[in-house]
Amino acid sequence: MTESPENLSIAVWRGDDSGGGYEQFDVPARQNQTVLDVVSWIQQHTDPSLTYRFACRVGMCGSCAMMVNGEPRWTCRTHVKTVLKGNRLEVGPLRNLPVIKDLATDMDPFFDKWVASEGAHHPTRTRHDPIAPVDPTEGNRVEANEGIECINCAVCYSACDTVTGNPDYLGPAALQRAWTLFNDTKDANRGAILDAVSGSGGCHNCHSQGSCSHYCPNELNPMKAIAGLKRASATRFFRRSS
Amino acid sequence: MLDIRLYMLQRITALIMAPLTLGHIAVMIYAVQGGISAEEILSRTQGSVFWFLFYGCFVVAVSLHGAIGLRVVVHETFGVIGKTLSWFTWLVAAGLMALGLYAVFAVTL
Amino acid sequence: MIRHAHRSHGLWLAFILHRLSGVALALFLPVHFYVLSLALTEPARLDGFLNWTDRPLVKAAEFGLVFLLAVHIFGGLRLMALEFLPWPSRQKSFAAGAVALALFLSGGFLLSAM
């Protein structure tokens, strides 16, 4: 083990939607520090105007994702020593989203697509009915369970080059949400979900590059969920035409 | 820029072409031995209903498949959208099909 | 390099190989069709062209084309298996297998062309 240098050399993207560039900061190295710690240190000790977003600091809320050395990561759970190149680090705002300022992106397009992909429950019962039992071992439920730990951090959305090339594409997170609801046997309108993901920005645009599944900090598999939607919609396509 | 209909067309043409392409490669490996000549190709294909249907299906499928593929690339790379993108898709499909079917007739008639 | 760091993983490379081979094949097709249609219009020129292809550099280019075709089919079959069959867990191995099969077939072509 070599001694860690006293200072880290951190390049942080500064600017807004009209443009910007990287600015250098020196940050003291610590035995244990996350990328979010580094960004916070700069804001607290060097430049109070640095803008970024975080809330829980423990990987629950999904608000602190940034590009770290060109890869999207949840910064609160990314240890500096695992991503450091020499003693340098480059931190920027997430790709594929408009920048509000510095490291804070406008997440509206990301969440609008959750709505557009019909990521809302269609109830089968009212509040007066007894609660439907859920069998955790049943096939559809197992499939749905694989996607429900999504924290909406937009790391997958930012990693996806299909989103980059096709701004209408709903993206991995919204499509995985749709797949989760499609597998909910308590959902009353699964056809509406398939309709919502079969348009010109739908699941059929996915090229299975796999960056979503590669980078998902919770190790979910949106690529598999999207393949599930393709299969379900193709099956329905043949049923309808026969 | 693919809705489910274009996607299905892309996948169905791909499935049709999978065996045709493997056959095509097999013929190439067989025919290239000792060099190829127009005479050799034409003696195999001319007047053959089998090769007419084989290459005819191949050309129709590849024209659609290639046009939809290029549509996606042109959209994602150059941001072409809307009517221009549709025109591009079907012009490529029609162009490839015309050239391809002409070639099929040329070697099988 | 940092700018595109998110692309340096196996399945993204499989994607770009599929895309580039597809575009190259689509651009090659009109030439291929034109040369074959010479059989009807100018049979002598077709024979002249086929004789021209009988040189090492052209054979190497043909090997490249056969490789692109084979890698596009096997890559495409992998994608359709991923989409329509029960989820296979070893995607990267399948992608590598597609490249290996394509090399095997195009290598076979090159050997019989020599």
Element (H or E) spanning A89, and its range? strand A88-92
A45 touches chain C (CB under 8 A): no
For residue A170, the enclosing domain spans 108-241
Domain end marker among A67, A88, A105: A105
> SS3 of A15, please?
strand
Distance, in Å, from the CA atom of A64 to the CA atom of A57, rounded to the nearest integer, reads 8
Q: Which residue among C2, C18, C91 sits closest to A210, beta carbon to beta carbon?
A: C91
Q: Which residue among B11, B28, B30 sits closest to C66, beta carbon to beta carbon?
A: B28
A165 touches chain B (CB under 8 A): yes
Element (H or E) spanning A23, and its range? strand A19-28
CA distance B41 to chain C (A): 10
- Count up the domains in chain A and report the number: 2
Distance, in Å, from the CA atom of A169 to the CA atom of A207, rounded to the nearest integer, reads 11
At A138, give phi and psi (nearest 5°): -70, 145
Domain end marker among A51, A85, A105: A105
**CA-only gyration radius of chain C, Å:** 18
In terms of CATH architecture, what is B4-108? Answer: Up-down Bundle (1.20)
Domain end marker among A45, A74, A105: A105
ipTM of the complex: 0.93
C33 touches chain A (CB under 8 A): no
Residue recorded with tokens 């043409």: B13
% chain A with pLDDT above 90: 88
- Does A32 lie in the same domain as A117? no
Q: Is the pLDDT of residue A2 over 60?
A: no
Does residue A1 fall inside a structural domain? no
A75 touches chain B (CB under 8 A): no
The DSSP letter of residue A104 is: E
Q: Do B109 and C40 touch (CB under 8 A)?
A: yes
> SS3 of B34, please?
coil
Q: Render pLDDT for A109-137 as a digit per residue (tens, 0 to 9).
A: 999 999 999 988 899 899 999 988 889 99
- Does A167 lie in the same domain as A200? yes
**What chain B residue is nearest to A207 in terms of C-alpha separation?**
B72
The half-sphere exposure of A1 on its side-chain side, counting CA atoms within 13 A, is 4
Does residue A2 fall inside a structural domain? no
Q: Render pLDDT for C30-71 as a digit per residue (tens, 0 to 9).
A: 999 999 998 878 888 888 888 888 888 888 999 999 999 999
C90 touches chain A (CB under 8 A): no
b/e code C28-41 from CB counts within 10 Å (16+ = b): ebbeebebbbbbee
Instruction: Work out whether the CA dihedral A142, A120, A177, B2 comes out positive or negative.
Output: positive
Q: Render pLDDT for A192-207 as a digit per residue (tens, 0 to 9).
A: 999 999 999 999 999 9
Distance, in Å, from the CA atom of B20 to the CA atom of C69, rounded to the nearest integer, reads 12
Name the pLDDT band for A5 (thresholds 50, 70, 90). low
Report how far Cα B4 is from the mean position of its chain's Cα atoms: 21
- Does A137 lie in the same domain as A125? yes
- Does A93 lie in the same domain as A123? no
Domain ranges of chain C: 2-113
Q: Do A208 and C84 touch (CB under 8 A)?
A: no
C86 touches chain A (CB under 8 A): no
Q: Which CATH number fits domain C2-113: 3.30.360.10, 3.90.550.10, 1.10.3720.10, 1.20.1300.10?
A: 1.20.1300.10
pTM summary value: 0.93
Q: Which residue among A69, A71, A209 sits closest to C15, beta carbon to beta carbon?
A: A209
**DSSP-assigned beta bridge partners for residue A99:** A105
